Structure 1
Amino acid sequence: MTETTKPTQPEEEKSSDAKETVQGILDFGSALTRTPSGTVYCLTIIGQIEGHMTASNNTKTTKYEHVLPLLAKLEESEEVDGVLFLLNTVGGDVEAGLAIAELIAGMTKPTVSIVLGGSHSIGVPLAVAARRSFAVPSAAMTIHPVRMSGTVIAAPQTYSYFQRLQDRIVAFVAGHSNISGEKFQALMLEKDDMAADVGSVIYGEEAVRLGLIDQVGGLSDGLSCLYRQIRERRAEKSAGAGD
């Protein structure tokens, strides 16, 4: 009779990790990776940032009601050492996008963002919210004034609200990147760059030159930076424990 043996503990853990990774990708477009350098949670921000209104069924979305509690969980998790954000978004709901960006910026854990296909409109604050931002050379970022759909009341209060909302975006981007608020505002109002519209489209290397993005680079660059942040954070914790 052939004797059967139970799987070893490491094999059980590998199976559990694989199931967890697949489920995370299906549910949130995310994956948890454990390496000797640290445990990294990879989160994608894609398609349209969905706010209070549900997008159509054929639209790929990032839902803020999913992302906000997830970010809070990652910040508190002892298992996760750093978070990698992969961005390819057309923008979307301004307040939902700003809420996500503010939460990312408020994280104490190492964070890195990489702009891939594009990070347009409210995707710009999302790109600069991480501790270090990267963009591939082919990445595009569209910068334009605030837009609003639906019924708009033509009253002074409406225009004031638009301006104050735009000021919040400008202040956030300027506060989390190396571009000045004046320069970012000027890119918003550029008249010669977009057909039948106001604004600018900038690409990877130009975004770095303007100070909007920290560095041109791809996945390996982003991960190297994230692991470096993790090592520095561990060293700070060790030094603090020794005092």
Structure 2
Amino acid sequence: MEFRSEQTPPEQPEDPRRSPTLENIQQLGQINVPTVESNIFCMSVIGQVEGHMILPPQNKTTKYEHLIPQLVAAEQNPRIEGILIVLNTVGGDVEAGLAIAEMIASLSKPTVTLVLGGGHSIGVPIAVSADYSIIAESATMTIHPIRMTGLVISVPQTFEYLDKMQDRVNRFIVGHSRISEEKLKELLFKTGEVPRDIGATVGGPDAVRFGLINQVGGIGEAIAELNRRIGERRNSREQAEVPLQ
């Protein structure tokens, strides 16, 4: 009678191409990724906001169809108590940017935006869409009218469409910040500052002075403000749940 000893197969060497450590180094530039359970959801808007048109692969883009499901999930997740939106964007698709801004503005949970580097063009409505906005001192925001191409617009209907879209953007910015409509239009049609000779580039302190952004600061101030608002929301809920004597 033949007996066979059961032996565990030798462990296969780890494929270095599929190593989690190597992936972390390639993707994030670090060996260990911190895994901390947090009640704050952080969403970034980096590069160019990609909307209805697919941009070239060499462009760093943020796809709006990726952000909207994330915001829906954060709104529904009971463990998420606050949302931090970090921006360093050159702008992009106007309707996609407005869609993201409207989603952020309609969230029931506390929201804070932090502008690092730049929050240009359609990034301005996204920056002001949260409950509270912060901008780094060295960051800038470029404010200019909506443009399609460098060509002269010769069709009246096209001009009317752009004019109405510009009005939508202006109403949103004025409605979600402390800037006046007159000051916003003054910045929009300022000449001599940007390459196409219309619009204005606003630094961090000036953005606060004009009423676009609430405060100059960084990630520490953003987290502190968000935690403060989360605490206020908890207290108001607890008071609402206390039965009347």
TM-score (structure 1 length as normaliser): 0.83
For residues 184-199 of structure 1, what are the structure 2 equivalents within 5 Å?
184-199=184-199
Structure 1 residue 108, shift from structure 2 partner: 0.9
Q: Which residue of 2 aligns with 1:180?
A: 180
Letter in 1 for 2:216: V
Contact kept, 8 Å, 2:91 with 2:122, in 1: the verdict is: yes
Q: Which residue of 2 aligns with 1:135?
A: 135
Identity %: 49
Contact kept, 8 Å, 1:193 with 1:201, in 2: the verdict is: yes
Equivalent residue pairs, number: 215
Structure 1 residue 186, shift from structure 2 partner: 1.3
Secondary structure at the residue paired with 1:115? Answer: strand
Spell out, residue by residue over 1:6-58, the C-alpha distance to the aligned partner (whole angstroms, 9 max, x if none).
xxxxxxxxxxxxxxxx8xx98xxxx98535xxx11111100000001111111
For residues 39-58 of structure 1, what are the structure 2 equivalents within 5 Å?
39-58=39-58
Spell out, residue by residue over 1:49-84, the C-alpha distance to the aligned partner (whole angstroms, 9 max, x if none).
000111111111110101011111111110101111
C-alpha root-mean-square deviation of aligned residues, in Å?
A: 2.2
Spell out, residue by residue over 1:192-241, the C-alpha distance to the aligned partner (whole angstroms, 9 max, x if none).
32244200000100000000000001010000000000000001111111
1:158 aligns with 2:161: no
Spell out, residue by residue over 1:141-199, the C-alpha distance to the aligned partner (whole angstroms, 9 max, x if none).
00000011499873221111111000000000000000012211110100132244200
Letter in 1 for 2:47: G
Q: Which residue of 2 aligns with 1:34?
A: 37
Unmatched segments (≥5 aa) in structure 2: 1-23, 29-33
More helix by share: 1
Contact kept, 8 Å, 1:33 with 1:41, in 2: the verdict is: no
Cα distance in 1 for partners of 2:105, 2:150 equals 30
Structure 1 residue 132, shift from structure 2 partner: 0.4
Cα distance in 1 for partners of 2:194, 2:149 equals 20
For residues 1-243 of structure 1, what are the structure 2 equivalents within 5 Å?
33-34=36-37, 39-149=39-149, 154-243=154-243
Contact kept, 8 Å, 1:82 with 1:226, in 2: the verdict is: yes
Cα distance in 1 for partners of 2:88, 2:141 equals 10
Structure 1 residue 139, shift from structure 2 partner: 0.4
Structure with greater Cα Rg: 2
TM-score (structure 2 length as normaliser): 0.82
Letter in 1 for 2:134: F
Contact kept, 8 Å, 1:112 with 1:134, in 2: the verdict is: yes
Letter in 1 for 2:240: G
Inter-CA distance 176–134: structure 2 relative to 1 (3 Å threshold): same
Cα distance in 1 for partners of 2:48, 2:59 equals 7
Cα distance in 1 for partners of 2:131, 2:95 equals 21
Letter in 1 for 2:57: N
Contact kept, 8 Å, 2:45 with 2:85, in 1: the verdict is: yes
Contact kept, 8 Å, 1:33 with 1:40, in 2: the verdict is: no
Secondary structure at the residue paired with 1:44? Answer: strand
Unmatched segments (≥5 aa) in structure 1: 1-21
Cα distance in 2 for partners of 1:165, 1:103 equals 18
Cα distance in 1 for partners of 2:99, 2:35 equals 23
Structure 1 residue 136, shift from structure 2 partner: 0.7
